[in-house]
Structure 1
Amino acid sequence: MSTTLARDVMTPNVQYVHPFDNVSQIAKVMVKAGISAVPVCDNGHIVGIISEGDLMAPFTEKRKLQRDWWLSILAEGTTLAKDFLEYIDAYNLTAQDLMKKDVIVGRADMTLAQIAQLLQEHHIKRVPIVENGLMVGIVSRADLIRSYAHGHS
């Protein structure tokens, strides 16, 4: 039995977003593709990755800013606080504002054991696969499980 490589189980033609795509555009790509994270690419080069949790961050922060704005109005009787302006601007966040920039990547010639080790060591759920500096696919935990279920290792 030959050793299965990342290229054998990876999902090719990966959905991705561009650095200047806004939160709404990113969410639409994720929902349409049924994925929980999406790579951020610039001319085929992976520059980041955004997960559902990363998309939630601005909304959590906006709630905090909204509360702080209301407290400042009640406490000081002032008009539009700087925090409120930041609260409004949070809607204009882009992929480059939210993405994790230090993306762990794999190579197409890595074994599944090596990919699994990357996932485990870095506590991540997927590894973009890069060849010659360009993203060519992605391997998720589900891809590994499917492969193991079919008797590949």
Structure 2
Amino acid sequence: MTTPVVSVTPETGVSEVARLLLHRHISAVPVIDADGRLVGVVSEGDFLRRAEGDSHRHGSWWLRLFSEPTDNAAEYVKTHGRSAADVMTRDVVTVTEDISAGDVAHLLETKRIKRVPVLRDGKVVGIVSRADLLRGLAAQRDTPTATASVEDATIRKQILEEISAGDWAPTYGVSVVVVGGVVQIWGIVDSQEQSEALRVAAANVPGVKSVELNVSIIPAYAWSM
């Protein structure tokens, strides 16, 4: 999974959510209330519906005959609302940390979704996307004789803690895969310096045999153009 998780509150403005998605290089963000509960997700799809709102507001007269006023009202809120709570998708599929990668892949396929939040004690601790699954699969294929162990899990935990503790950490978050002591780091960084900092942070953790960086360097300003 990708961690740490960028989130917003139900009261966060729509324009602020849009800027956050651009700045953090992400396509969706969980919405978390004051009690730390996941209440929804705002994705690029929600903004696409918003962009289409005015062009489809009238629709075909014969389709309106079969539309329920309640459905039309809900659609109006999504396309004209000004807060995350207005535009978010409320029916969110989630998983826990102990689910297998195969089960996550099956869930994404059957539910036709691109990502799923990971919960621990009811709190969001990460997000697994289709890209994360591909990264894990690539790591396993690169080391066919090795399997992830308890020690690998410990190494991964220490690396993530070191990254999250630094004020240099990438704004997007990274995905870390450890198999047989070999670390693969995936994600998007703002600079070569951030990339090197990730390498050093991983290499300094006891038990790490080698570090492979699979990151793309995309400055934050490039996403706001």
Flag whether TM exceeds 0.5 (same fold): yes
Corresponding position: 1:40 with 2:31: yes
**Per-residue deviation, residues 37-62 of structure 1 (Å, max 9, x unmatched):** 11111132211011112012223213
Within 2, Cα distance between the matches of 1:61 and 1:121?
28
What is the aligned partner in structure 2 of residue 52 from structure 1?
44
Corresponding position: 1:122 with 2:114: no
Per the alignment, in what secondary structure is the counterpart of residue 95 of structure 2? coil
Within 2, Cα distance between the matches of 1:50 and 1:25?
12
What is the aligned partner in structure 2 of residue 131 from structure 1?
120
Within 1, Cα distance between the matches of 2:111 and 2:105?
10
Post-superposition shift, 1:104? 0.2
Corresponding position: 1:143 with 2:143: no
Structure with bigger strand share is 2
Post-superposition shift, 1:100? 0.8
What is the aligned partner in structure 2 of residue 16 from structure 1?
7
What is the aligned partner in structure 2 of residue 98 from structure 1?
87
Runs of 5+ consecutive residues of structure 1 not aligned to the other structure: 1-9, 69-85
Distance 1:22 1:63, change over 3 A: farther
Post-superposition shift, 1:28? 0.9
Structure with bigger helix share is 1
Within 2, Cα distance between the matches of 1:49 and 1:42?
12
Within 2, Cα distance between the matches of 1:122 and 1:59?
24
Q: Which amino acid aligns with 2:43?
A: S
Post-superposition shift, 1:23? 1.3
Within 1, Cα distance between the matches of 2:90 and 2:102?
25
What is the aligned partner in structure 2 of residue 108 from structure 1?
97
Q: Which amino acid aligns with 1:36?
A: S
Per the alignment, in what secondary structure is the counterpart of residue 53 of structure 1? helix
Query: Which structure exhibits the higher relative contact order, with contacts defined as CA atoms closer than 8 Å and separated by 6 or more residues?
Result: 1
Post-superposition shift, 1:64? 4.3
Within 2, Cα distance between the matches of 1:64 and 1:138?
33
Post-superposition shift, 1:33? 0.8
Post-superposition shift, 1:24? 0.5
| TM value normalised by structure 1 | 0.73
Pairs aligned (count): 122
